[in-house]
Amino acid sequence: MTTDGTMFSFRLYVAGDAQNSSRAIANLTALCRARLAGRHQIEIVDVFGHPERALMDGIVMTPTLMRLEPGPVRRLIGTLNATDDVVAALGIARSEG
Amino acid sequence: MNTAGASAADTTKSRTGIAGFDQMTGGGVPRGRTTLVIGGPGSGKTIFGLQFLAEGLRSGEPGIFVAFEEATDRIMANAASFGWGLEQVRPGEVFFLDAQPTADLVQLGDFDLGGMIATLDAKATEMGASRIVFDALDIVLALLPDAASKRREVYRLHEWLLGRGLTGIITAKSDSDDSGTVSGGPLGFMQFMVDCAVTLNHSVVLGVSQRDLRVLKFRSSPFDENESPFLIGATGIEVAAARNLGRMDAQVTNERVSSGVKRLDTMLGGGYYRGASVLITGFPGTAKTTLSGAFAEAACLRGEKTMFVSIDSDGSEVVRNLSSVGIHLDRFLKTGLLQMVSARSITGSAETFLVRIKTHARAQGARCLVIDPVSTLFKSGNELTARNVAERLIDWSKAEGITLVCTSLLDEMASQQEGGSPLQISTLADTWIHLNYLVQAGERNRGMSIIKSRGTAHSNQVRELILSDKGVTLADIYTAGGEVLMGTLRWEKESAERVAKEVDEVARTLKMVRLDAEEAELGVRVKSLQVELEAKQVERALLVRTNKTRKAELSGGRSRMRELRGGDATQPVAAS
C-alpha cells in the first residue's frame, strides 16, 4: 500500500490523434488530477513520432500506459475509462484522493 | 525436380522456399499482398512463416517476424533446428519483434494496434524489409472487446501492409480442429480480405499422423486446389505436390540395366530400362528380396550408387541373408556405394515415408533404388493416400532417372490369382515380374514369369527360379502332358531324358559296329571272289594258249610227216 507522498511516474504511449488514444490521455489526466494531485508526472509518447522508443518498450497496442514509479513497472492498455479498475490496477490507495 | 522454369520468372509471386508449395501456387505467395495461413495447434503455421523469411534471407529480401504467441528466443531456437541460418542473421536482415502480451497486462477499454504498426513501419523503412510475418495474430485479436474492433484492427493492419507493398503472411489458429471452415469471426473476415489463404490441417487417420495443406484461395492466379499432404522434415515443410502442369516429361532412355540375373536379362531382351519402375510381386518367401538384392548387387558392380530400403527386416539382416545365396552386398556397404535404409525407423504415414526416401536418395545421389516391400508400409498408413504416394514415388523416380525396383507382397488370403496387386502399382509399373509357388509332388518350387514389360519383347515362359549359394539362376521348366514340371520332378524328367539319351547312344554305336562288321565281311567276300575270278581268268588264258600250241604242233607235225614221207604236195587233204 502506498502512503501519502509517493511519487507516481507514468509513460503513456499514444498513436497520433486516434480516438482511443485521446480518450486515454483525457482519462489519465483527469484521474491524476483527482487522486494524485501534485505527486505525479506523465510523459506522453506518440508512437508515430518516436517508433524507436515504442520498440524499446515493446509497445504493440496503443494506448499503453506504463507505471514506472513506484516499481515494478506495470502496463495497462486501453482507454482507461473504468476509473475504479484503473485505480486498483495502478495501486492507488482508496484513501488517497 | 524442376522447380525453376516458368514459376521463377513470375514477379507477382514471392517464393516461400517450401518445396511443393511454390509448385502448387506457381511461384509462391502473392508479392506485395497478404496471405493468411490458418491451422490448428501444432499444424506448422510458425514454421511456414519462418521458412518464408528464411527464403527471403537467401534471396536478399530482409524480413520481419512478429511473434504474438511465443517468445522470440524460443522461436529462434525452433528455427535453428532446421538449419536455415535464421539464428545467425546480422541485424538488418531479419528482425524479430516480441509482441507477446505479457501475463501482467491489464486491459481497460478499447485499444488498437497503432503502436505496433508505427514501430514496424519505422523498422521496415530502416531495413528495407519486403517480407513480414505475423505469427498467431488471433492472440492479440482475442484481447479486443468486440467483433467490430477486431475487424477494424485487421483492416488497419491489412491496409498498412498493402500501402507499404510488403509481402505479408498472417498466421492464425483455426477455431476448430476442422480447419478450412472458419466462416465466422475475424478469421472469416480475414479470409475474404486477403489475396491468398492457406489451411494447414493435422489429423490422425487410423493412428497415423497425417498433415495436409490446402490453398483456399489465390486471387488472379491458378493454383492446385487439392489438399496435399505435407511433412515437417529436417529442412522444414515439404509439401507433396502432385504433378503440376508445367512439369517436363521424364527423359526416356533406351539404356538397359541388368536385373542381376543373366537369364532374366535375356528374357527381358537385355534387362530393365534405365529409369523404369519394376514391380516384383509374390507370396512370402518367393525370393522377392533375393531378386531385388541381385539387382542391387549388379548396380553396385556397375559402380552406380544404390539405395536399398528394407521395410520388413533390418538392413544388416538383409545383407546377411542375401550372402547365403551368393549376393555379397557388404563390400559395397563399406565403400558407400550401397546405402541400406531400414524403414523400421521411419514411422508415420506413407507420405512421411516417401519424403524420407526422397531425402535419403537425394543425399546419396542414388541411381538405383530398391524398396522391399512397398506393400507393407502402405498397409499401416492411410489407404486413400497410399495409391497417391505410390503414384508419386514412380513419378518422382522417373523424373530423377532412378531405376526403381519395388517388391510387393500379395495378400496370402486374397489373391491366388495374379491380378490382385495392392495399390494397383502394377498398372503404373513398367515391368511386372510375378513369383509364385508351385506345389507338386510334395515340394514347393519357385516359378517366375514376366507379366508385363513395357517397350520390350519379353519371354512369356514361366521359368523356375533356383537359389543356390552360387547365386540366382533360372531354369527351363518342363511341360509334360499339360503339366508343368519343376524341382525334383523337373530333375527326374531331366535325368530320365539323360538316361534315355545314353541308351539311345549305345544302341546306335552298337548298330554302327554291326554294320561295320557286315561291311567288312562283304568286303572280304568280294576280295576272295575277285581272286577266284582272277584265277579262273588265268586258267582260261592258259587253256587258250595250250590249245593254240597243240594246233600248231599238230599242223606242224603233219607237214613234217609229209616231208618225211616225201609225199605229193597236191595230195588232197580230205582226211584232215
Q: What is the 3-state secondary structure (H, E, C) of B406-423?
A: EEEECCCCCCCCCCCCHH
Distance CA B144, CA B330 (A): 66
All residues of chain B having their beta carbon less than 8 Å from the beta carbon of residue A21 are: 114
B108 Cβ under 8 Å from any chain A Cβ: yes
Quick check: B115 contacting A, CB < 8 Å? Answer: yes
* Separation CA B464–CA B449 (nearest Å): 9
Question: pLDDT value at position A97?
Answer: 43
Along the 576 residues of chain B, how does pLDDT read in single tens digits?
444 444 444 678 888 888 788 888 888 888 889 999 988 888 888 899 999 988 888 888 889 999 888 888 888 888 888 888 777 777 778 888 888 887 777 888 888 888 888 888 888 888 888 999 999 888 888 888 788 888 888 888 999 999 998 899 999 887 654 444 444 566 777 888 888 999 888 877 666 677 888 888 888 888 877 788 888 877 888 887 655 444 555 567 788 888 888 888 888 888 888 888 888 888 877 888 888 899 999 999 988 899 998 887 788 888 888 888 888 888 888 888 888 888 765 556 677 778 778 888 888 888 899 988 777 666 655 566 667 777 778 888 888 888 988 888 765 444 444 444 455 666 778 888 888 887 777 777 888 888 888 877 777 778 888 888 877 888 877 666 666 677 777 777 778 888 888 999 999 999 999 999 999 999 999 999 999 999 999 999 999 999 999 998 888 888 888 888 876 655 555 554
Residues B364/B253, Cβ–Cβ less than 8 Å: no
Question: Chain A contacts of B98, Cβ < 8 Å?
Answer: 58
**What's the CA gap between B403 and B386, in Å, rounded?**
20
B106/A51 Cβ within 8 A: no
Binary contact (A76, B108; C-beta < 8 A): yes
Classify residue B118 by its DSSP letter. Answer: H
Subunit contact B140:A64, Cβ cutoff 8 A: no
Q: The C-alpha cell of B124 is what?
A: 521496415
Number of other residues whose CB lies within 10 A of the CB of residue B25: 27
Helix/strand/coil for B561: helix
Closest CA to A83 of A19, A10, A31: A31
Inter-chain CB proximity B107 and A23 less than 8 Å: no
Minimum Cα–Cα distance from B125: chain A residue:
A51
ipTM of this predicted structure: 0.85
Strand B338-342 relative to strand B368-372, pairing:
unpaired
By C-alpha distance, the chain B residue nearest A84 is: B108
State the first-to-last Cα distance of chain A, in angstroms, to the nearest integer.
14
Measured between CB atoms, which of B115, B121, B140 is closest to A59?
B115
Cα–Cα distance for residue pair B561/B296, rounded to 1 Å: 123
CA distances (Å), origin B31, targets B14, B156, B162, B169: 5, 19, 10, 11
Half-sphere exposure of B182 (CA within 13 A, CB side): 28
Contacts of residue B140 in chain A, CB cutoff 8 Å?
A: 60-61
Distance CA B392, CA B185 (A): 38
Among B72, B98, B110, the residue to mutate for chain A (most A Cβ within 10 A): B110
- Chain B residue numbers with beta carbons less than 8 Å from the beta carbon of A48 are 114, 118
Cα–Cα distances (Å) from A16 to A48, A80, B164, in that order, read 6, 17, 19
Q: Which of B42, B105, B95, B100 is nearest to B71 (CA)?
A: B100
**Residue where the block lists cell 526416356:** B252
| Chain B residues near residue A89 by CB distance under 8 angstroms | 106, 108
CA distance B150 to chain A (A): 13
So what's the pLDDT on residue B269? Answer: 82
Strand-pair partners of B131: B63, B167
Alpha-carbon span B270 to B265, nearest angstrom: 5
d(CA B118, CA A45) in angstroms, rounded, equals 12
Between chains, do A60 and B109 touch, taking CB under 8 Å as contact? no
Task: Give how far the C-alpha of residue B449 lies from the chain's centroid of Cα atoms, to the nearest Å.
Answer: 19
- B574: how many CB neighbours lie within 10 A of its CB? 5
Is B91 within 8 Å of chain A by CB? no
Set of chain A residues whose Cβ sits within 8 Å of the Cβ of B113: 60-62
Which of B66, B113, B116 to mutate to test binding with chain A, by most A CBs within 10 Å of its CB?
B116
* Contact of B456 with B268, CB cutoff 8 Å: yes
> And the C-alpha cell for A5?
507522498
Q: Between A and B, how many CB-CB pairs are < 8 A?
A: 103
Three cell numbers, residue B56: 527471403
Contact A16/B113, CB-based, under 8 Å?
A: no
Q: For position B505, what pLDDT does the model report?
A: 92
Q: Which amino acid is at B357?
A: I
Distance (Å) from the alpha carbon of A39 to chain B's nearest alpha carbon: 23
CB contact under 8 A, A61 and B106: no
Distance CA B148, CA B154 (A): 10
The pLDDT of residue B345 is 53
Q: Does the beta-carbon distance from B123 to A55 stay under 8 Å?
A: yes
B419's grid cell: 491380378
Query: How does DSSP classify residue B166?
Result: -
Query: Which residues of chain A does B110 touch, with a Cβ-Cβ cutoff of 8 Å?
Result: 20, 23, 78-79
Alpha helix locations (H) across B175-241?
185-193
Here the cell at position B438 is 508351385
Tally of residues, chain A: 97
Nearest to B114 among A15, A52, A74 (CB): A15
pTM given for the model = 0.65
Q: Maximum CA pair distance of chain B?
A: 200
Q: Do residue B111 and residue A52 have CB atoms under 8 angstroms apart?
A: no
Q: Indicate the length of chain B as a whole number.
A: 576
Q: What pLDDT sits at residue B344?
A: 64
